[in-house]
Amino acid sequence: MAGKNQTGAPLKTTLLLPTLNEIEGMKAVMPRVKPEWVDEIVVIDGGSTDGTIEYARQMGYRVEHQTKTKGITGAYQEALPLLRGDVVISFSPDGNSVPELIPALVTKMKEGYDMVIVSRYLGGAKSEDDDMVTAFGNWLFTTMINVLFGGHYTDSLVMFRGWKKDIVGSLMIHVPRAGFEPLLSIRCAKDKRRVSEIPGDEPKRIGGKRKMDPLKNGMDILRLMWSEKFGAKTK
């Protein structure tokens, strides 16, 4: 049902921000996010010591602490049961995600899609944060997901996307080391879920350090695709 949850009520949206020492990006980006765009803003923090938590609370966001796991995959694992929205928008507060695209993303989700991706490679959009390695990796893995699992993506790995929270349970999604985004893209393609994309630039990150190791992450994604295609368990 377009724009409504399973009970027939209007869809509620949660903006989810995984953080670990992102104070510079938070201060530059989050004042541009208007509270009325979503129903709740939740920060899942992995142990920041630079003032990120205090700033988030100052802005009125709900802060949850990642205590059982480490890394962004663990952040999703711990945050998902705590979110109140029917639709989750995963958002990078380090400058990589453009906040002004949130209303368009919410509007598209309310058309009845199970997932909407803000693609860095659709309709003239571009990534200013890519280097040669990450650009090639994004193209390669998106092409492989399309070929192996019947997807129609231009960007299967980007964090900035909206997705219905109930599909996580219905697709029996866990969060492997390769990350939530490629797994969600694969499972939605396999299950022929209704998916769309909107174009959106990816600016350079602000402050801090990139926490993703491209080579290690690439190997994890390859293992994930192998397990999803041939049935081996992924850890």
Kindly list the domain boundaries of the chain, sorted by start residue.
13-229
Cα–chain center distance at 141: 16
pLDDT tens-place string over residues 13-25: 999 999 999 999 9
Question: Are 208 and 170 in contact, with CB atoms under 8 Å apart?
Answer: no
**What is residue 78's three-state secondary structure?**
helix
- pLDDT tops 60 at residue 99: yes
Beta-bridge partners for 13: 87
**Alpha-helical runs (H) found in the chain:** 23-29, 52-58, 71-79, 102-109, 132-149, 166-170, 180-190, 214-230
Report the relative pairing of strands 87-90 and 161-164 from DSSP bridges.
antiparallel
The pTM of the full predicted model, rounded to 2 decimals, is 0.91
Tell me the pLDDT band of 32, cut-offs 50, 70 and 90.
very high
Compute the distance between CA of residue 155 and CA of residue 225 in angstroms, rounded to an integer: 16
pLDDT score for 74: 87
Angle at 70 between CA 46 and CA 219, to 5 degrees: 125
Tell me the pLDDT band of 8, cut-offs 50, 70 and 90.
low
Counting residues of the chain whose pLDDT is more than 90, the rounded percentage is 77
What CATH number was assigned to the domain covering residues 13-229?
3.90.550.10
Q: What mean pLDDT do residues 126-150 have?
A: 95
Counting residues of the chain whose pLDDT is more than 70, the rounded percentage is 93
User: How does the average pLDDT of the chain come out, rounded?
Assistant: 91
- pLDDT tops 80 at residue 211: no
Q: What mean pLDDT do residues 214-224 have?
A: 88
Q: What mean pLDDT do residues 166-190 have?
A: 85
